[in-house]
A and B are shown apart, each in its own frame.
Chain A
């Protein structure tokens, strides 16, 4: 099977409210998808569900990763299989140092010898002894997430708005790292503004609207349509052509 990730008829809710409705998505090895959609359309829920968050309840459907049904697997097992997620807003954990987490990431990815190199590359030396995400600026939090992913070296990347809340200069740096991460790998990138697509090549664009996948197509075309007409109109047009 060429598909590295298969999401089949996935229905997901939280507190009895349905968020994702019959989501189907097949991603092949080497492919990267950009995920568009308005706030609350279910983009982050989809990534969190793939990662195995217990906050979200799966009513129906399944998630296959590298040919294995991971729907019931614990998050750490999924991660050990090669899933990696970059948070949009990672939680602040008092008392847990960034360097401690990096050690775990490096152990997982077999990249213990790369810690120093990556830390230096991202200019993160001063954050190593800080409590993770506590008092980090927007850009620092993004870099910290990317640093962890670099060390984990996952096969499949899920990036939740890597371009939100950072200045243009930082987006260029972030884009470069993402390109490194995606080299020969697969992934999903959520982007609101599409800024990151100036630096990262993606194969397909997906529009999520009200918990459904409204369309899949050329990411630049989709972005143009969204910029011109807005999501509602885009989704209306997409759904009409489906």
Chain B
């Protein structure tokens, strides 16, 4: 496969109406809606023109201004979108791509969204600004798969508001070399809402990856979990997490695990902040190399050293997200399979 050709399936994009509820594609700064059913999907500019009320959503969760395009997705009240909605952001010719996305899950609705970001250019800047509104009793599962090239710089900003009893589940996968990724989504949780942030990132040589999540537990009984798996194979990885307990009976847990293959740098920075005495916040962090006794054990079951190493790395990257729909799990497994061999 030539360097300038990208396989969109690698980032979870199928463009197949039998597998997706809606499909959106943005090449450089030109958006296009492929198809949709059961869910409203427009370009952000078009949506802002059409809906005056969108002013109350635009640039409210993310600092910024400007008239950038991107995707606007809205799931109507009480609608549960069966197949995932996919959105692809492709950097093709332009030196930079600025994207503004707005996702609204109305009350009691359900959405699975896969966003795949990739580049045909060897260098270039991707700046994605996303705002997620999860209304009462709604549930959004968001899976983002990044597959960049060595010279790409990626600086997204994301804000998420989860209303009462709402659920937000996020999975972020970065398994390709890249120059820089800096991302730190911020979530604001209201009463009895829940959020889960899982991430699996690999830092190859000359890559600098700085990712994390900030979660404000603002509503009574809200809870959040941040689980990250970072692998450094010569790159520099910062894995951050910050949970702020602002209300009664909130619960937060942070789990940062790092594995260094060969050499590299991993910096795990978990942070817990309690602003109320009745909070339950905890974290665990561990960084190490692959244990030789684990490799040996698998070799005594007939696996070669490479096979054993590969199986252990794969196991390390496998974050078990209980509520993840099977179709999304398959996308993640496929992405992990693709990188597995490159790591051994």
Contact = CB atoms under 8 A, between A and B. Distances in A.
Determine the main DSSP class of B at the interface with A: helix
B302 A91 contact: no
Interface residues of A, number: 29
B315 interface: yes
A173 interface: no
A75 B312 contact: no
Interface in B130-185: none
B275 interface: no
A96 interface: yes
B316 A105 contact: no
Interface in B91-125: none
Give the one of B293, B296, B301, B315 with max A CB within 10 A: B301
B294 A148 contact: no
B1 interface: no
Given A54-B292, A91-B291, A75 B316 contact: no
A105 B298 CA distance: 10
Interface string A47-81: 00001111100000000000000000011100110
B302 A80 contact: yes
A101 B315 contact: no
Contact of A105 (B299, B301, B311, B314): B301
A84 B301 CA distance: 8
Give the one of A74, A90, A96, A100 with max B CB within 10 A: A96
Contacts of B304: 74, 76
Contacts of B293: 55, 91
Nearest to A108: B302
Contacts of B298: 93, 96, 101, 104
A79 B302 contact: yes
Interface in B278-321: 291-294, 296-305, 311-312, 314-318
A108 B312 CA distance: 19
Interface residues of B, number: 21
Contacts of B291: 91
A152 interface: yes
A85 interface: yes
Contacts of A131: 315
Contacts of B311: 96, 100
A135 interface: no
A241 interface: no
Given A53-B296, A95-B317, A76 B305 contact: yes
B300 A85 contact: yes
B292 A104 contact: no
Interface string A22-63: 000000000000000000000000000001111100000000
Nearest to A151: B301
Contacts of A52: 299
Given A74-B305, A131-B315, A93 B294 contact: yes
11 contacts: A52-B299, A76-B302, A76-B303, A79-B300, A87-B300, A91-B291, A91-B297, A93-B297, A94-B316, A95-B314, A104-B302
